[in-house]
Amino acid sequence: MKNTSLLVLMFALMLGNSVFSQSKKWTLEECVDYALKNNISIKQNELNLKSSEIDKKSAFGDFFPNLNSSASHSWSIGANTNPVTNVRENVTTQYSQLGLSSNVLIYSGLQKLNTYRREKLAIIASQYQLDKMKDDIALNVANAYLQILFSKEALKVQIEQLAFDEKQLGRTQELVNVGTIPKGDLLDSRATVAADKQRVASSENDLFLSKLSLAQLLQLDDLQNFDVAEANYEPEQSETMLQKPEDIISKAKSDRIELKIAKTNLEIAEKNIKIAKGGYQPSLSAGYSFGTNASYSDRLIGVDGSGNPIYAGPLPVLDQFSNNKGHNFGLNLQIPIFNGFATKNNVERSKIALERAKIAETQANQDLERNVYTAITNAKGALNSYESAVSALEARKEAFNYAKEKFAVGMMNAFEFSQAQTLYVNAQSEVLRTKYDYIFKVKVVEFYFGIPIIKK
Express each pLDDT in 178-217 by its tens digit: 777 778 878 888 888 898 899 999 999 999 999 999 998 8
Q: How many other C-beta atoms lie within 10 A of the C-beta of residue 9?
A: 10
pLDDT at res. 201: 95
Give me the percent of the chain exceeding a pLDDT of 70: 89
Express each pLDDT in 383-419 by its tens digit: 999 999 999 999 999 999 999 888 777 788 877 888 8
Express each pLDDT in 275-324 by its tens digit: 999 999 999 999 999 999 988 876 666 666 776 767 677 788 888 889 88
Question: Strand pairing partners for 30?
Answer: none
pLDDT at 22 over 50: no
pLDDT at res. 387: 94
Q: How far is CA 349 from CA 269, 355, 360, 384, in A?
A: 10, 10, 16, 52
pLDDT at res. 296: 81
Q: How many other C-beta atoms lie within 10 A of the C-beta of residue 196?
A: 24
CB neighbour burial string for 231-250, b if at least 16 within 10 angstroms, e if fewer: eeeebeebebbebeeeebbe
Q: Mean pLDDT in the chain?
A: 86
Pick the range with the lowest mean pLDDT from 2-16, 352-366, 415-429: 2-16
pLDDT-derived band of residue 20, with 50, 70 and 90 as boundaries? Answer: very low
Question: What is the DSSP annotation of 76-142?
Answer: E-SEEE-TTT--EEES-EEEEEEEEEEEEEEESTTHHHHHHHHHHHHHHHHHHHHHHHHHHHHHHHH
pLDDT at res. 332: 94
Q: What is the DSSP letter of 228?
A: B
pLDDT at res. 397: 92
pLDDT at res. 5: 43
pLDDT at res. 450: 86
Tell me which H or E stretch contains 300. Answer: strand 299-303
pLDDT mean over 365-392: 94
Q: What is the DSSP letter of 324?
A: T
pLDDT at res. 351: 96
pLDDT mean over 417-444: 90
| Region label for 341, one of left (φ > 0), alpha (ψ between -120 and 50) or beta (otherwise) | left
Q: Among candidates 400, 38, 439, 414, which has minimal Cα distance to 236?
A: 439
pLDDT mean over 34-59: 93
Q: CA 214, CA 198: separation in Å to the nearest integer?
A: 25
Q: How many other C-beta atoms lie within 10 A of the C-beta of residue 149?
A: 22
pLDDT-derived band of residue 84, with 50, 70 and 90 as boundaries? Answer: low
pLDDT at 8 over 70: no
pLDDT at res. 1: 43
Spell out the residues 6+ positions from residue 77 whose beta carbon is closer than 8 angstroms to its own: 92
